């Protein structure tokens, strides 16, 4: 069973979703990754030079653990995708339009993930289909607005003591 790889999956989606063509057509980077949704400093330095839609995949290794009721532990990993575009900070109508547009693309990504889940593709066989959330975000750095979509994917974890790590 293939394990879910958040960065690879998001990069692939970003390459296939037409929404990001404006930047790609200019040979600009439209996909970024960040280790944490609370602190986007790893990518925020480049936000000021962006004037097209872009995606940030956040794989902060946030997880909960539980027993599956049988013979293994499950790691319930939490993942985030930011879908962002640029809007004028003083134009509420444009900001809401950008956020609505980003939300529509987040829903398309969610539909793709549920499609892959149903067909056991791309490591999403253990996707928690009831875990999706979408929240508005912005402004990030200079005029980036959009949405952040969160979701959870279970993976099995083999918790055994490793004698090499103990004194």
Query: pTM of the entire structure?
Result: 0.87
Give the residue ranges of DSSP H helices in the chain: 6-16, 21-24, 41-47, 92-118
Integer Cα distance of 63 and 118 in angstroms: 23
Domain borders along the chain are 6-157
How far, CA to CA in Å, does 32 sit from each of 6, 55, 111, 139, 165?
12, 6, 22, 17, 35
- CB atoms inside a 10 Å sphere around CB 154: 19
42-80, pLDDT tens digit by residue? Answer: 566 667 678 899 999 998 677 778 777 766 777 888 999
128-140, pLDDT tens digit by residue? Answer: 999 999 999 988 8
- CATH label, 6-157, candidates 3.30.160, 3.30.2000, 1.20.1070, 1.10.3470: 3.30.2000
Q: What is the mean pLDDT of residues 118-134?
A: 95
pLDDT of 155 higher than 90: no
Question: Residue 152 forms beta bridges with which residues?
Answer: 78, 128
């Amino acid at each position: 069973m293939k394990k879910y790889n958040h960065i690879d999956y998001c990069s692939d989606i970003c390459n296939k979703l037409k929404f990001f063509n404006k930047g790609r057509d200019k040979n600009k980077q439209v996909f970024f990754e960040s280790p944490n949704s609370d602190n986007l400093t790893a990518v925020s330095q480049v936000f000021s030079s962006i004037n097209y839609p872009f995606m940030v995949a956040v794989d902060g290794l946030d997880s909960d653990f539980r027993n599956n009721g049988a013979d293994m532990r499950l790691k319930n990993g939490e993942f985030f995708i930011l879908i962002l575009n640029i809007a004028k900070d003083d134009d509420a109508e444009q900001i809401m339009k950008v956020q609505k547009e980003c939300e529509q693309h987040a829903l398309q990504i969610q539909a793709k993930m549920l499609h892959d889940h149903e067909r056991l593709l791309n490591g999403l066989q253990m996707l928690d289909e009831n875990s999706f959330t979408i929240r508005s975000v912005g402004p990030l750095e200079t005029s980036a607005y959009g949405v952040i979509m969160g979701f959870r994917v279970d993976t099995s974890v083999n918790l055994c003591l490793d004698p090499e790590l103990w004194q």
